[in-house]
Structure 1
Amino acid sequence: MEKLLEVKGLKTSFDTHIGTVQAVRGIDLYLNKGEAIGIVGESGCGKSVSMMSIMRLLSSNGRLVDGEIMFDGKDISKIPENEMENIRGNKIGMIFQDPMTSLNPVLTIGAQLIEPLTKHKGMKKKEAIEEGIRMLKLVGIPSPEKRIKQYPHEFSGGMRQRAMIAMSLVCQPNLIIADEPTTALDVTIQAQILDLMKDLKDKLNTAIILITHDLGVVADLCSRIYVMYGGIIVEEGTDEDIFYRGRHPYTWGLLKSIPNPNSKLREKLIPIEGQPPDLFKPPVGCPFAERCEYTMKICIEKQPPLFDLETGHKAACWLCHKNAPKVDTPIRGEE
């Protein structure tokens, strides 16, 4: 498959009055055309910052320290801002976490929906409105001719999220980055939004990067998953690799903290004890060492590389070393 996006050695930091936060500490990932991948991890692990770095939407104190971001064969980490403006919203769309704060409350949905069409596609206003109505209909908003004239506060939470998806799709981008698209929605609406994204991916062949802290959300949509912790990728592989053959203790912890729908027994959910590492002073060893029950001396002294386990399956854990003690994998099988 042809690669659409390839990120190599991405590092992003934020300068504050008390020091520098090393939010992303060197990650590699790739995305094929028409593929959906997931990036999962706790809040603060660096997944959203990684995507904001790709979009060049960092706050004023944020900076891209190092790395290469190849999009459609071009390194967009070094292009001028005016060129990046032609990519954002046009070739790469983004669905932000909270549609109520991401949408402009003083502009109608229509005004916000047609702006990319007039800016990037050169459409006249009437033509852009017709296309906006078509997109609202495509994402399942009823009475789109009426709704396009309304303001964000007149939409329910689920409808605002659908409107955000319509805005990200309106220019028919090659890639959509969805940052926690189901946050603050009830489970029924969550399922509808995920089904909608899956349907649009299949119909339009749009590649998707789904950012979430919930492994359950990525199960249906994503073919490959990256697990992030402490600003680095600690495991990557197919959905089956992660769910049934996971090798990193942090991945095990994530899996043990979500319900198992296949279990016939009443199982307790087991939270991951402790706190994420301080990224003002990141640990020299494995960032998960202080919370891991399998920690060895080398885990504290040296950060593990990403060990190749199988085709495309990698894990940054010293337990994957050939000389490491063997431990039973405490994750669920395919019951």
Structure 2
Amino acid sequence: MSKLLEVKNLRTSFKTHLGEVQAVRGVSFHVDKGEAIGVVGESGCGKSVTMMSIMRLLADNSVIESDGIIFDGEDISNYSEKEMEKIRGDKMGMIFQDPMTSLNPLYKIGDQLTEHLIKHKKISKKEAWQKGIEMLDLVGIPSPEKRMKQYPHEFSGGMRQRAMIAISLICEPNLIIADEPTTALDVTIQAQILDLMKGLKERLNTSIILITHDLGVVADLCSRINVMYGGIVVETGSDEDIFYRGRHPYTWGLLNSVPNPMSEMKEKLVPIEGQPPDLLKPPNGCPFADRCEYNMKVCLENQPPLFEVGEGHKCACWLCHSDAPKVESPIGREE
């Protein structure tokens, strides 16, 4: 498969009165055309900042550097704001975390839905309105003609999220970045939203980057998963690699905090003790070392490289070094 997006050594920091916050510290990954990948990690690990850096949607105090951001064959890392505006909403869409704060409460859903279409596709308002009705119908909103004339506060939480998905899809972009699209929704609506995204991916061949803190959410949608912690990718591999052959202690911690539906016995969920690193003063070594029960002296002093531990499976942990002591995975999940 050909690559739609390739990010090379992305580094993003924020200048504050306390100093420079190094939010993203050398992240590299790619997305193939028609593929869905997951970016997983706890709050503050750099997931959203990574994606906002790609779309250039960060505040003025941000500093974004990279060795290249290749989108659809073009390096967009040095694009001007005007050039980025031609891409955002047209070739690259984003579903934000909270639809209530992302949707403008003063404008009807139809106006917000057709805005990008009129701007990027240069079609009439009448054509755009009809396309908006079709898109609301596509994402499963009943009575789309009526809903086009309503305001965001007249929609339920699940419907607002569907409206956000419709807005991001209306120009039929090549890539959708979904930033925790199921946050604050009940379990039934979560499943509906994920099924909707899966169906749209298959129908429109859209590539998806799904950002979440919940490994369970990516299980059915994503073919590859990047696990982030402390502003770096600590493990990357296929869904099976991460779920059944995970090698990083942080990945083990995430999996231990998710209920195992295959277990016949009630299992106690194990929290990850401790706090994330202070990215004003990032550690010299592994960012997870202070919270890791397997840490060694080298972990505190040197950041590990991404070791190749399988085909397409990489892990940034000194336990993967050939001279490291052997540690059995505490995850007992069957493939």
TM-score range, shorter chain: over 0.9
The 8 Å contact of residues 11 and 67 in structure 1, kept in 2 or not, is answered as no
Partner of 1:328: 328
Question: Secondary structure of the equivalent of 1:220?
Answer: coil
Partner of 1:158: 158
The 8 Å contact of residues 309 and 315 in structure 2, kept in 1 or not, is answered as yes
Partner of 2:26: 26
Q: Alpha-carbon deviation of 1:292? A: 0.1
**Which one-letter code corresponds to 1:133 in the other structure?**
I
Give distance in 1, aligned partners of 2:183 and 2:59: 22
Q: Alpha-carbon deviation of 1:332? A: 2.2
Corresponding position: 1:317 with 2:292: no
Question: Secondary structure of the equivalent of 1:221?
Answer: coil
Question: Secondary structure of the equivalent of 2:28?
Answer: strand
The 8 Å contact of residues 24 and 231 in structure 2, kept in 1 or not, is answered as yes
Q: Alpha-carbon deviation of 1:65? A: 3.0
Per-residue deviation, residues 270-298 of structure 1 (Å, max 9, x unmatched) = 00000000000000000000000000000
Between 221-230 and 76-85, the greater mean CA deviation after superposition: 76-85
Partner of 1:76: 76
Partner of 2:279: 279
**Which one-letter code corresponds to 2:281 in the other structure?**
K
Partner of 1:148: 148
Give distance in 1, aligned partners of 2:216 and 2:67: 30
Aligned pair count? 335
Give distance in 2, aligned partners of 1:290 and 1:78: 37
**Which one-letter code corresponds to 1:232 in the other structure?**
I
Partner of 2:211: 211
Identical columns (%): 75
Greater than 6 Å deviation, 4+ residue runs: none
Q: Alpha-carbon deviation of 1:77? A: 1.1
The 8 Å contact of residues 40 and 215 in structure 2, kept in 1 or not, is answered as yes
Q: Alpha-carbon deviation of 1:63? A: 1.7
**Which one-letter code corresponds to 1:282 in the other structure?**
P
Between 71-80 and 215-224, the greater mean CA deviation after superposition: 71-80
Partner of 1:197: 197
Give distance in 2, aligned partners of 1:108 and 1:60: 30
The 8 Å contact of residues 26 and 67 in structure 1, kept in 2 or not, is answered as no
Question: Secondary structure of the equivalent of 1:52?
Answer: helix
**1:1-335 to 2 correspondence within 5 Å?**
1-334=1-334
Per-residue deviation, residues 210-268 of structure 1 (Å, max 9, x unmatched) = 00000000000000000000000000000000000000000000000110001001100
Give distance in 1, aligned partners of 2:84 and 2:31: 19
Question: Secondary structure of the equivalent of 1:259?
Answer: coil
Question: Secondary structure of the equivalent of 2:219?
Answer: helix
Per-residue deviation, residues 71-98 of structure 1 (Å, max 9, x unmatched) = 0011111011111100000000000000
Give distance in 1, aligned partners of 2:65 and 2:113: 34
Question: Secondary structure of the equivalent of 2:66?
Answer: strand
Give distance in 2, aligned partners of 1:332 and 1:10: 34
**Which one-letter code corresponds to 2:229 in the other structure?**
Y
Give distance in 1, aligned partners of 2:213 and 2:156: 24
**Which one-letter code corresponds to 1:56 in the other structure?**
R
Question: Secondary structure of the equivalent of 2:149?
Answer: coil
Give distance in 2, aligned partners of 1:198 and 1:65: 32
Q: Alpha-carbon deviation of 1:334? A: 1.1
Question: Secondary structure of the equivalent of 1:90?
Answer: coil
**Which one-letter code corresponds to 2:245 in the other structure?**
R
Give distance in 1, aligned partners of 2:332 and 2:37: 22
**Which one-letter code corresponds to 2:137 in the other structure?**
K
Q: Alpha-carbon deviation of 1:60? A: 1.6
The 8 Å contact of residues 286 and 304 in structure 1, kept in 2 or not, is answered as yes
**Which one-letter code corresponds to 1:110 in the other structure?**
G
Give distance in 2, aligned partners of 1:327 and 1:227: 20
Q: Alpha-carbon deviation of 1:180? A: 0.3
CA distance change for structure 1 residues 250 and 305 in 2, over 3 Å: closer, same or farther?
same
Question: Secondary structure of the equivalent of 1:266?
Answer: coil
**Which one-letter code corresponds to 2:76 in the other structure?**
I
The 8 Å contact of residues 8 and 66 in structure 2, kept in 1 or not, is answered as no
Between 59-68 and 206-215, the greater mean CA deviation after superposition: 59-68
